[in-house]
Amino acid sequence: MKKLNCLKSYQMSRVGVAVAVAAAVFMAGCASTPPTPAPTEQMAVSRAAVNNASSAGGNEFAPVQLRSAMEKMDAAERAMGEKDYARARLLSEEALVDARLAETTARSAKAQKAAEALQEDNRVLRKELDRKAQ
């Protein structure tokens, strides 16, 4: 009989522990998540990237990508004003990617233009040398 009571007591304590664990898990799930910090550094990096893309000739050589970056940056600024920091961070990161694409596209287009100009200069020089050699 003593063993039976001991077994029941043991089972009851296991149930009690299980209930306590379940309650702790439930309460942890209900706890509010800590507030997302303002992405001020991310915003500054993205703003600088948009400015760099514009300076690199994004308006002329990559207008679609630059416009996309600027629109996302504006939306990120609005989200910051509304204290929707998660959305502001996401939009700011997207603006950064678009701005870097615009800058790279613009620099690539400029380099291509410069290479074509050099090739044309070389063609003209060869033609002039050929004419003088005759």
Q: Map out the domains of the chain with their CATH numbers.
A: 35-109 (1.20.1270.390)
pTM for this prediction: 0.67
Q: What is the mean pLDDT of residues 63-69?
A: 97
Rounded Cα–Cα distance for residues 94 and 130 (Å): 54
Burial-class residue 52 by CB neighbours within 10 Å (0-12, 13-18, 19+). Answer: middle
Q: What is the mean pLDDT of residues 11-29?
A: 50
pLDDT for the residue numbered 133: 84
